[in-house]
Structure 1
Amino acid sequence: MAWNEAENARQRARREERIRKEEEERRRQKLEAEESKARLMEAFLKEKEKEVLQLQEEAKNFITPENLDARIEECLDNPRNYNFAIDKEGRIVKRTVLS
């Protein structure tokens, strides 16, 4: 009977050690997952911040009601003709058959 109790105690100690190691491994994996998620979120936020800054930079060229008259005057002062062709050598041909 003493041998059986000693064997049970030994098995209990092994089981407790295994459970403790498994719990420790679970905590370590959870911590690594949280760190990985935090790094991904930080990278995502940096990317979005970069996009916002780029949009703010592009917004400086938007036509708004405040600068509409100035932009219209600018377009009237500097007309552009997009009616042209490019030949096989890459030269721009401004005169077409109709003009």
Structure 2
Amino acid sequence: MAWNDAENARQRARREERLRKEKEEEKRQKLHAAEQGARKLEAFLKEKEKEVLQLQEEAKTFITPENLGARIEECLDNPRNYNFAIDKDGRVVKRTVLS
């Protein structure tokens, strides 16, 4: 009977040690996942901040009711002709055969 009690105590000690190690491993994995999630969130926020800054820069060239007249005058003063073709060698052809 003493041997059985000793064996039970030894098995209990092994089981408790195993459970303690499993808890430590689980805690370590949760901490790692939380750190990784924080890094992903930080990278996402930086990317979105970049996009916002880029949109703010692009918004400076938007046509608004305040600058509409100036933009129309600018377009009338500097006309552009988009009627051209590009040949197979990449050269711009301004006149076609028909014109």
For normalisation by structure 1, the TM-score amounts to: 0.89
CA displacement, residues 27-67 of structure 1 (integer Å, 9 cap, x when unaligned): 00010011111111111111111111111111111101111
Matched, 1:23 2:23: yes
**Residue type at the aligned position of 1:32:** H
CA displacement, residues 56-88 of structure 1 (integer Å, 9 cap, x when unaligned): 111111101111111001001111111122345
Gaps in structure 1 of 5+ consecutive residues = none
Aligned to 2:6: 6
Gaps in structure 2 of 5+ consecutive residues = none
Aligned to 1:63: 63
SS at match of 2:79: coil
* Count of aligned residue pairs for this structure pair: 99
